[in-house]
Structures are given as structure tokens and as C-alpha cells.
Chain A
Amino acid sequence: MDKYTEDKQLVKDFLDGDERAFKKIADKYSRRIYWHAFGMLNDHFEADEITQTVLLVLYKKLNTFNFESSLYTWIYKITATRTLNYLRKKKIKSFFSIDSDNVKEMYSKENIILDVERSEKLEKVGEILNTLPTKQREVFIMKTFEEMTYEEIAEVTGKSVGGLKANYFHALKKITEKYNEEE
């Protein structure tokens, strides 16, 4: 059974009342949702919140999914939109809040990786990603970590392939320069 047919069957089973089917969908996609959100926000608690919200949306809205795109693209679209909205709200909040930097400092040290070395690496990647503008960061995460094609990213973000390539190029350039600075 291919990925598309498998997802279709899981959605059908869930809509027929099988809760285990939703559990399978959640287990299958929650990691991707989480890591996309974490890459964008660089904060475990916020990524956790986004993941839970997206899964709850799926639970409520799966009956509206019409299989015009793949389930993965649909989920990713919800995730990307929710994450961007969260980032916008966060920017507005931080504009009005004096203590936001302290709060950010406290939370950003948390992640779900228990191994210290890996945790440090994750922190370093997070710092580098944080230097990128939102659009470049989004494309970079989808292309590098999720290994999505430009066409898939275009479907999720609604942007042109040419624009996405340019964004990815600029993201790569900044990351390389950052690495060069550190050496």
C-alpha cells in the first residue's frame, strides 16, 4: 500500500469512528510538525504548543479533507500557517513586553533531546536559523530538513518556485557566512 492510499484509508477509518486510526496519523506526522515548528521558533514549549494545536485541528477538521492534495501537504500547510501566525503574534507581544527577552532566554534552553552533545548541536543550529529572515528560514527547513521539493513547498506556502529558490540561496549564503565567521 503506497503512502497516499495508506493515508486515505487512515482518514476513512477515523471518520468511521476508529480512534486508533487518528492515533496512527498523529504518530506518523507529529514529529514533522514538531520539528518544523521548532526550527521556526527555536523553542521547545512553543513547538509543543503548535504541535498540539495542529493535531487538534486535524482531529476536528479531518472530515473536511478532500484528498485534492496529499495528507502530508495538507498537514504541512496547517503547520506552516499556524507557525507563521504564532511568530507574528510573538513579535507583537515582544514589542509591548519588557521582559520578553528574559523569558525567551529561559525557554530556549529547553528541548526534548537528552543527550548533551546533540542538544548543543541543536542549539547551535537554532542560533543559526534564528539569524535568517522568516521566509528564508521556512524554505530552508522544508528543503533541507524535510527534503521537500520546490513544487511541494510552493503548494504549501503559495509562493513561486523561482522565489523559493532565491530564498533558499540567500539562506544558504547567510548560513555559510555564519560558519565562516565562527571558524
Chain B
Amino acid sequence: MKKNEEEILKLFSGLLSDSEAEELKSSLDNSGSLKDFNSRLENELAEMKEVYKNYPEPNYFYNLSNSVINKAEEKRASFFQPSFAYALVIAFVVFVASQLVNFDAVNSNPEYAALINASDLEDYISFDQFADLDEFTDALISDSNELDYTEYLLSGVDQTEMFQTFDENEILNLLDESTEEAILNELANKKIL
């Protein structure tokens, strides 16, 4: 592109100062090719504008705005659809039910209150409760239905025997009495049994 043509593009773009623009306009009369370029550019732009401006299809836009209004109204109406009503009813029922539950009954019970107010489990489950070993044993025995080893505790059987399998007994039988006792003592000292 020639430099003079670029100047015309600058004129079209408003990049020239007033004096520069005046100078360029006056020089157009002296240059035939530059004048041609200027009018061709004007025509091209006018033609492009024509294509975009004078559109003889008003129905499309008429229908378009109608369709948008319908969509907007549908959206607004959908706010009151049955699903919305169901959600409202369910929320109301949940609210009423929550009002009917007497939370004070739970809060007024000192045992629950202690549990609720305990900072952690140790605050509530104190080992002092099992200070009396007999009491603990009694409690254990009374629940013996669920504890299958309580009968061993009561039977007076040596605790070491409770954990010996048949094979272990066989091995122990092979040992002499002093060795066996030494092994058992060793295990007892290490608190394995």
C-alpha cells in the first residue's frame, strides 16, 4: 500500500489533525489515483453498510422479540409450578414437626445433660465408677451371656491354659517341668500372658 493511500485511511480513521486533514483533502484534487482510491474506499464501506443496514426481513425480528417475551414469561410462571408448591409444603411440614419435638425433655434429664456438657468422653466415663473391683466383677458376671470367657474366670483354671492350643500342649509335654516353668515365668514376666 502506498504512503498516500495510508494517509487517506488515517483520514477515515480520524488519526489526522485538522490541518493535516485539510491538506490531504486539497491534494486529492491534484492526484487522480488518490482520488480514485478515496472514492473506492467510500463505496466499499457504503456497500458493506448497505448489506447490514437495509435488511428487508422485519418478520424475523418481530417474531424474535415475541419469542423472547414468551420465554421470559414462562420463566416467571415456572416459579409457581407444582414442584415449587410441593417444596413449600414439605418445608412447612418439616418446620411444624420440628416445633412438635420436645427438646427440653432431653435437656432436662441430668444424665443426658452430663453427656452433652462433657468436654470429652473421659469427663463422662470416669474410672472412679469402677473403683470397686467386686462391683465391676458382679457387673461382668451379670452380663455373662455375652461374654464367653467369664466361665473361665470363675472356673479357677490357670490363665495360661486358656491360650494353649493342642499343639502347644504337646510341645510343653515334651519339656521337663523346670524348663516349662521357666518358659512360663519368662512369658509372665514379659506380660505376654
Residues of A near any B CB (own CB < 8 A): 19, 22-23, 26-27, 30-31, 34-35, 39, 48, 51-52, 55-56, 59-60, 112-115, 118, 121-122, 125, 128, 144-145, 150, 165-166, 168-169, 172-173, 175-177, 179-180
Contacts and interface: CB of A to CB of B under 8 A. Distances in A.
B130 interface: no
| Chain B interface extent, by class | 20 to 34
Q: Which 4 A-B pairs have the closest CB atoms?
A: A26-B65, A169-B13, A55-B68, A59-B72
Given A27-B62, A125-B51, A173-B6, A179 B44 contact: yes
Interface string B156-170: 000000000000000
Contact of A150 (B14, B40, B52, B55): B14
B134 to A, nearest CB: 77
B65 A27 contact: yes
Contacts of A114: 57
Nearest to B68: A55
Interface of B: 1, 5-6, 9-10, 12-15, 40-41, 44-45, 47-49, 51-53, 55-57, 60-62, 64-69, 71-72
Contacts, number: 92
Main SS of the interface on chain A?
helix
B58 to A, nearest CB: 9
A145 to B, nearest CB: 5
Given A35-B52, A112-B55, A52 B67 contact: yes
Given A27-B65, A51-B64, A112-B60, A169 B15 contact: yes
